[in-house]
Amino acid sequence: MSKKEDFVKFDKVDKSYDGKVLVVKDLNLDIEEGEFVTMLGPSGSGKTTCLMMLAGFETPTNGEIYLDKNPISNIPPHKRGIGMVFQNYALFPHMTVFENLAFPLRVRKISKDNIDKKVEKALSMVSLSGFGNRMPGQLSGGQQQRVAVARALVFDPSVVLMDEPLGALDKNLRESMQYEIKHIHESIGVTVVYVTHDQGEALTMSNRIAVFNDGKVQQLSSPDKLYEEPVNSFVAEFIGENNTFAGEISSISNGSCKVKLAEGEIIANPISVKSVGEKTTVSIRPERALINPKDKMDNNQKGKIEEVIYHGDHTRVRLNLLGNSEFILKVPNSSQNLDIKLGNEINIGWNSQDARALDPK
């Protein structure tokens, strides 16, 4: 079976609640069948609104959403056949775990034997066999979460939506649940649209990530591309850690440009700049800048150490470099003791390929 390319499609969708402000602006998004797509963004960026429109609890102000090529704006939520996991699980507190899972099957008038089989299968999928007779209130947060996931999957929906499902769990549990959900997704191949504001979660779980800001998708790409090759300064800033220099293009040639900063000049990789004189923000990941580089690098600068923070497996060093006193370096602790002491001056080098000249902030 070939996978459908645009199984879920947002086509020029706008959404406004009050008729004055657009919460979602001209959203175009294609999701492939069986894909795990995460909508990532700060709160108020419109990601949950998109999910609610897909689920049918909100209607687009403009544009259309297609599910398997069919427009769904006029289909009520209960006929869309989309499973959903809610932020606070939304388990029915007056029903047992079994009844919770059987609910979507019962409203579909599935025979009793089949219900028993499917519920049992769904419970074992989230390793909660034997918990059928418990009430949701008797379960721990992680178990409730798993019941919610099982309930959203038990009726074999084509798409499952997850709205910050791990937000209420503690850190360790959250991490193990991330893997669990990922494995469930891989084993049954359902299309998952996942909403979170936690970038770690998004990077771990997704096939592709849509970074939302200000009602728009800033970048839609795989986790590694998103981290390594952000297309604008918002994404660079939002995903992972980032060192920035604000400056102006002084010369530009094939695949390389010179950026004039307040103090000095660096060589960068022009991404969203085209001509001399443009303002730009240059973004460098902390791990791409090295101390006393052995190989020759096309950027070499001297910086003064202002702060050293021990982090166990690595040490974070804050430098004052080219007038930027927030320049962060990550130094692995295994390396031979370098000259990292407060107040020392050290040599820093990076490749111009890793210094991405993006839009100005």
Partner 1 sequence: MSSEQKILSTDGIPLEESLKQAEKKNKIKAFLLVTPLLLFLIITYIIPIADMFSRSIDDKMVTNMLPKTYKAMEQWDGKELPPEEVFKAFYLDYKILVENKTAGKLQTQLNYEKNGFKSVLKKLARKQKKFEEGNYKEQIMKVHKRWRNVDYWRAIKRRAPAYTYSKYLKGVDMYSNEDGKIVQVAEDRRIHRILWSRTLEVAFFVTLFCFLMAYPIAHLLATLPMKYSNLLMICVLLPFWTSLLVRTASWMILLQQQGLVNDFFVWIGLVTDDNRPEMMYNKTGTYVAMTQILLPFMVLPLYSVMKTISPSLMRAGKSLGATPGVAFFKIYFPLTIPGIGAGCLLVFILAIGYYITPALVGGASGTLISNQIAYHMKSTLDWSFASAMGLMLLTGVLVIYWIYNKLVGVDNIKLG
Residues that bind partner 1 (CB under 8 A): 55-57, 76-84, 86-88, 90-94, 103-104, 107-108, 151-152, 155, 161
Helices 141-153, 171-188: inter-axial angle, 10-degree rounding: 20
Q: Shortest gap between Cβ of 55 and partner 1 (angstroms)?
A: 6
Q: Using CB atoms within 10 Å of the CB of residue 86, give its burial: 0 to 12 exposed, 13 to 18 middle, 19+ buried.
A: middle
| Amino acid letter, 189 | G
Residues 138, 291: Cα–Cα separation, whole Å: 54
Residue nearer to partner 1 on the CB measure, 80 or 318: 80
CB atoms within 10 A of CB 335: 11
Q: Shortest gap between Cβ of 10 and partner 1 (angstroms)?
A: 18
74 φ, ψ (degrees, to nearest 5): -100, 10
Residue nearer to partner 1 on the CB measure, 73 or 325: 73
Residue nearer to partner 1 on the CB measure, 165 or 247: 165
Residue nearer to partner 1 on the CB measure, 37 or 159: 159
Q: Shortest gap between Cβ of 163 and partner 1 (angstroms)?
A: 9
33 φ, ψ (degrees, to nearest 5): -65, 135
Residue nearer to partner 1 on the CB measure, 155 or 234: 155
Q: Shortest gap between Cβ of 14 and partner 1 (angstroms)?
A: 23
Provide the terminal-to-terminal Cα distance of the chain, rounded to the nearest Å. Answer: 45
Q: Shortest gap between Cβ of 119 and partner 1 (angstroms)?
A: 13
CA-closest candidate to residue 301, choices 310, 289, 309, 311: 289
